[in-house]
Chains A and B, each alone.
Chain A
Amino acid sequence: MKVLLGIYVAIALNSSIAYAQCSNRAKGSAPVVTLELNAVQSTVKLGSPIMVKLTVKNDSDHEFSILRDANDGENRMELQDNQGHLVKETRHGYVRNGHGDVKQFTINELSSSLACVPLKAGESLTLQFDVRQRYVVDQPGEYTIWMEREDPESPGAVRSNKVTINVTK
């Protein structure tokens, strides 16, 4: 069974890669980041890129830094079909979506680089993703997608809104 694991979830955290924080986290603090997910196109022809945009916004009154992994791995993606089942992952998705067992990763998959990106109050950072890089979308249908990442100051993950995308033949 695949279990979505948060970095700071207390159980079985050693089964996935998690990432450094660029700001000090305070236990019990409220999340300072909000995630907004948008589909570039709500209807996509099967085989075409399925592009979504994730906006990471500093929703606090102060500046902090968010972590950026060179492979966008700090942003986990969840894709479910119309039955609510997790769609089969690509290898990239297996490593980056937080579902994989770190012991199963290759050495190369274990190494990357990072940076801390400062965000002033109210500022946001928008990233784009091709869903197909992380999931094998080979059937037409309706899919639900959302993303999450760690909050830089609170001990938990923040999740985006859900987006529905219709993949047609």
Chain B
Amino acid sequence: MRLQISLAIFVAGLAVTCLPLYGQDPGPDEVIGVTGVVTPYSSQVQGYGFTEMGANVAYYYDAYVEVYLSQNNSPLESGASPVDNPVAGGYLPPVGTAPDSKYEIVSNHYLVAYFAYYDPSTGYPVYGNPEGFLSNGGDFGNSTSFDPGGPATYITSELLYLGSTGGEIDTTPPNITGLYISGTNTPAALSLNTSGSLDIRGDHLTALGLDLEPEIGVSDSGITLQLTNPSDAQLTVSYTVAGSTQPGQQWLNVTTNAGVSNSVNFNVGDATPSITSISPNVWNAGSVTSFTITGTGFGTNPSLTVTGTGVTGYSIIGISNDTTINASVTVDGSAPSGNATVTVQSNGYGGSGFQQTQPGQPATGSQNATIQGAAPPIPQLIFFSGGNVAGTTLSVVVGQQIQLTAQWPAGVSVSNPTWSQPPGTAVADYIASTSGGSVTTLTTTTSSTYRFYWADAGNSRQITYSYIVNGQAGSVFVAFNVDGPSGVTITPTSSNTVSILSPGHSGAFASNTILLDGASGVPGVSFVAQATHVPAGIYQWVQLISSDKSSTLASNGPHTVDKVTGAPALDLGYPYGYNSSGNPLGTVTTTHGVTNDTSQDSPYSVLPSLYGELARYFTATMYVMWVPPADPRCNNGIACTIPAPIGSISWKAAGDAINTLQPWSGSGYTDTVWVKSCQNPPAASGFQTSSAYPTWSTVI
């Protein structure tokens, strides 16, 4: 190892310039100062210094140099050269080295000038006390005659300081502690045909900054390293790993002026394939698509895999290379929309197979492409057994059965079929008879047929059938305008009295009878339904009795009985106006032009003479509903209509009669005279519109 610092000084014209003149002879007017340190043995350092003059300078001057060697800024060795011409200088004695030491070398360079001073008039020296004459062994007092003669001349010499040269040297070799991917703590493992940046970390990597261009040695010439950022603790290098590099373990080391480092091993292998693009990356079902895979690390003979629902085939086209694969894929016509996965497997370079750069490194890289499924089939919505009504608006009437069937082409596999809940009020069924009336609640269904009834009217009611076919969600809908009675009011009319009819009374009973009321053909209460609009259909009535109590007073005391044991109870039959034998009772009539628009009731009780008093209390609710004609499209042979509720009105009546026990004097009958004690003639509350159905489980 050698450290040398040179300084060139142009004496003539006082031009002083530092030039890298190591190994060059001084030219005219030049003086070169040279300082250096050598390590004759690994355990020694030795400093030196020289002052060298050009030939014309040497004609007038002699050279001189002083050399100082320090260790970690502490003086270690020094020396001065003899004055000489044209070169003065030499080596200091070698000294032993110490670890982690820095050695500094400084040389001071001088010219030696010689002067003669005399007084031409007297011939004596005139310089009284020139410093140079009194020191340095000058020639003061020495009288010498110069040729070609003349007065005595006094000659002296003077050191002319030119400048200093110096430098430092580190004697500790570099030490590598690790090799990492730049900027990370990931140990370096390099892939073939890649480039990047590495951090060589350690100490003395630049000989304490004295060698900023250390040499980096590497085991394979296919690996090119370029120093980009040196520091004593880290050397950042860019690298390129040629494909010709031998996979496996490699090494590198660092050499500075202080020596050669340890070697650090790293692995070189194949890169994991990385796909950067697939073009095109959307593949249509039912087609063969050619596509190009672009990326890195594919190797020289990559393998290809394409997976995905509906992918029936694939192949590589032509010759692939490290960055490009041309291929084709076949997607079945029934393929649903979704993803296909493209996987490239590297087989390494040159048929050597995939060589892992590091343990666990995959040999494959994947990326998804998109399969555009074929348009799924669309179902038809069949209303009863008619044609397709999807996307249309149908006109129906409340109470008419709605039956929709989703009809698919043969072979279609449908998942998650769902019918939407009908807007408005809808029921699955209303089952009513004398023995009971109940509503079957509509629930969502996944079956292909949806059947229900609307209980109220409304327009633009949409029913949507949703499904998934071939992995694609879809839906179809049909809208309904549901007609029904509107502006319905129920007008109650009361007899406003409670009557007691005696036997023999014109139009009376054979026994005394309390009527609530119905005497002389006037109903106790009647209800007339009128509407601002009605579609085709008829009214239907249902009367539910909340309470029907009769109280009697006889010789054995008072007694009360309620006919209703499970309120509300159906009044006689369903619908109202018929009894349980199915015979019409004449209590539902048509009086205002719409069939069955009027209902009436006239409760009565016979007054047997064995009672002293009899009272009756009657409370009921009359419901009015609308029964449309069956939709002509309903041809499935089952009930096509149910009544749709419109509303209800509650009413009540009460009367009390007392037996006077006085013989009745009328002809033809044996009875007593009864008188009315008190009464609450039939009275109705306000009509309440409602889409709720009347329900019951008992009948009286």
- Chain A residues within CB distance 8 Å of chain B: 7-8, 10, 12-14, 16-25, 65, 68, 70-72, 102-103, 105-108, 110-117, 125, 127-130, 133
Contact = CB atoms under 8 A, between A and B. Distances in A.
Interface stretch (B123-131, B162-170, B295-303, B508-516): B508-516
A21 B508 contact: yes
A102 B512 CA distance: 11
Interface in B589-606: 600-606
B350 interface: no
Interface of B: 501, 503, 506-511, 513, 515, 518-521, 523, 548, 550, 552, 559, 561, 563, 571-572, 579, 581-587, 600-606, 608-610, 614, 616, 667-671
Contact of B507 (A13, A23, A106, A115): A23
A10 B503 CA distance: 11
B6 to A, nearest CB: 139
B670 A17 contact: no
Nearest to B514: A111
A39 to B, nearest CB: 16
B605 to A, nearest CB: 4
A123 B377 CA distance: 62
Nearest to A98: B510
A54 to B, nearest CB: 9
Contact of B511 (A18, A125, A133): A18
Given A20-B515, A103-B610, A117-B586, A111 B572 contact: no
B581 A133 contact: yes
Contacts of B515: 20
A136 to B, nearest CB: 18
B581 A70 contact: no
B698 to A, nearest CB: 14
A133 B581 CA distance: 10
A114 B604 contact: yes
Contacts of B604: 20, 111-114
A110 B603 contact: no
A152 B518 CA distance: 16
Nearest to A116: B521
B508 A20 contact: yes
Given A14-B671, A115-B523, 11 more contacts: A14-B503, A14-B609, A22-B507, A22-B521, A65-B521, A102-B606, A103-B609, A111-B548, A113-B587, A117-B585, A125-B584
Nearest to A150: B510
B561 A14 contact: no
Query: Which 8 pairs show the lowest CB-CB distances between chains A and B?
Result: A18-B510, A117-B586, A21-B507, A115-B586, A116-B521, A10-B668, A111-B605, A107-B550
Contact of A19 (B509, B600, B610): B509
Contact of A17 (B511, B518, B552, B671): B511
Contacts of A102: 511, 606, 608
Contact of A112 (B603, B609, B610, B667): B603
A7 B510 contact: yes
Contacts of A116: 518, 521, 586
A20 B603 contact: no
Contact of B513 (A12, A20, A133): A20
Most buried by A among B501, B610, B616, B669: B669
A13 B669 contact: yes
Contact of A24 (B506, B571, B601): B506
Contacts of B508: 20-21
A128 B584 contact: no
Contacts of B667: 10
Contacts of B583: 72, 127-128
Given A8-B668, A113-B602, A116-B586, A71 B511 contact: no
A85 to B, nearest CB: 26
Contacts of A130: 581
B557 to A, nearest CB: 14
A8 B510 CA distance: 7
A72 B581 contact: yes
A129 B586 CA distance: 17
B603 A113 contact: yes
Contacts of B518: 20, 113-116
